[in-house]
Amino acid sequence: MAALTEEEQLNLALALSASEAEATTTAPPDPPATIKGHQLRDMSETQKWGGTRRVGPNTRSQADANPQNKCHRVENATLVRAYNSTTDESIKREIIKFNMSKDNCFHGSNNKAHTAMENAMRDGTASSEQFNRKADMLLSAISNLNHYKEDYSVKTVAHILKTLKAESPLYNKVVADLKKSSFTHPDIKAQIDEARRQEEGKPTQGPSQAEEQEDRSLALALELHEQEQEQERRSQAVRKGWDTRRRNEAARKAEVEAAAKAEAAATQEADDRSLAQALDLDLNERERRSEAARKGCETRRNKEEAAGRGARAKVREAPRAAEAEAEAQRRSSAALRGWETRRENQAAEEAAVLHQRRSDAALRGWETRRRNQAMAAGFSTGFPGHLQPHQGFTGSSQFAYSGFNGGPTKADGTPDMRFKVNRR
């Protein structure tokens, strides 16, 4: 085993002292005297009883196409019988911890086949494939029980094996097939030997008293030796831890003192620099404030002068602005009058044109009436050259034309040929 560094030894000593203090202050919970199957499942899946080795929830629910279930290596029913058949509270607590832990449970997707395999193991109808699969599962669970000694004691392993081999002959064969080279504790080997005797049909009274006493003496000696070694290792770790802490505390104390001295010197130096800077700053501050006051006075004076110039400019610009506004008003009035004049002239021109049109129409109407009157007068007096009624016809609309003298004419003096006449 590699030697531990001082820091590792210190951490180990602190962890051991913390675990020992916790063990002395925190009492384990009292398990119930008897339990049922569902109660064992529920208690084993809680943090209080199951601890950190719980198998955890399924990753696929029952609604999934390929759902998962929590499958036992050592059956829940077997562990219930083991729990109820002992009065040792430490065994009961370890059975609760083991039941739904990763050491005994796994997530499976074929729970029906698993249940059928367990039933076949109980009634003795298991096939070779079913027996081998279940034997492998049980070997994994028993190996976990025997390996994780900080979680499970030897008496718990032996008690579970005793209960398991009493379940059925096939379960007894699984225990008988365990290798004693892997399970070396006398109590566990005793259960294996008893299972083998039952398998061979021999009496199950167990080993002789001398052999049992020898095995127990050897186991006790080994356990005492291991305890002495562990105690010595812990004592050395504690001593080295205390030495390391003492050296670290001395080094930290020296560092703190050196840091305090350096801080004091730095503080004194900073105070000296601050005083010198304060003196320089005082003079500089006075000059800066005087310069700022002078610039402030100049700025206010410049602002006052600018305000005065602006007021005077506004006074000078006021008449010009009034004149410009009056000029704009005049131009607007003139433009309005011009527009009104143009509108009136346009209306007068339109009225004159309309009057001229009406005069021309009246004149043409008068001339037309005069011609019509003249024609009517010519028809009544029978002037030569006018239309005469055609002889031989009785109709008043049949005329003979004797010439255009005195006949109807147009406005330009030419004969009016709109009438249809017959030449004779």
Please, which pLDDT band fits residue 269 given cuts at 50, 70 and 90?
A: confident
Residues listed for the chain: 424
- Rounded Cα–Cα distance for residues 157 and 398 (Å): 157
Please, which pLDDT band fits residue 350 given cuts at 50, 70 and 90?
A: very high
Which of 65-74, 177-186, 300-309 has the lowest average pLDDT?
65-74
Q: Residue 206, Cα to own-chain centre: how many angstroms?
A: 66
Provide the pLDDT for residue 126: 92
Q: Contact 204/197 with Cβ under 8 angstroms?
A: yes
Strands 399-401 and 422-423: parallel
Q: Which of residues 355 and 69 earns the better pLDDT score?
A: 355
- Average pLDDT (143-158) is 90
- Rounded Cα–Cα distance for residues 98 and 144 (Å): 9
pLDDT at 338 over 50: yes
- Cβ-based burial of 330 (10 A; exposed 0-12, middle 13-18, buried ≥19): exposed
Contacts 24+ apart (CB under 8 A), 223-230: none
pLDDT at 398 over 50: no
323 membership: H or E segment, kind and range: helix 209-381
Q: Which amino acid is present at 323?
A: E
DSSP of 147-203, one letter per residue? H-TTT--HHHHHHHHHHHHTT-HHHHHHHHTS-TTT--SHHHHHHHHHHHHHHHT--
Which of 128-142, 189-203, 289-303, 373-387 has the lowest average pLDDT?
373-387
Tokens of 154: 């030897």
- Cβ-based burial of 74 (10 A; exposed 0-12, middle 13-18, buried ≥19): buried
Q: Contact 139/74 with Cβ under 8 angstroms?
A: no
pLDDT in tens, 203-224: 544 445 555 566 566 656 666 7
Please, which pLDDT band fits residue 47 given cuts at 50, 70 and 90?
A: confident
Tokens of 231: 């105690």
- Cβ-based burial of 252 (10 A; exposed 0-12, middle 13-18, buried ≥19): exposed
pLDDT at 252 over 60: yes
For the chain, which residues make up each domain, given as ranges?
A: 31-206
Provide the pLDDT for residue 222: 64
pLDDT at 156 over 90: yes
End-to-end CA distance of the chain: 167
pLDDT at 412 over 60: yes
Please, which pLDDT band fits residue 344 given cuts at 50, 70 and 90?
A: very high
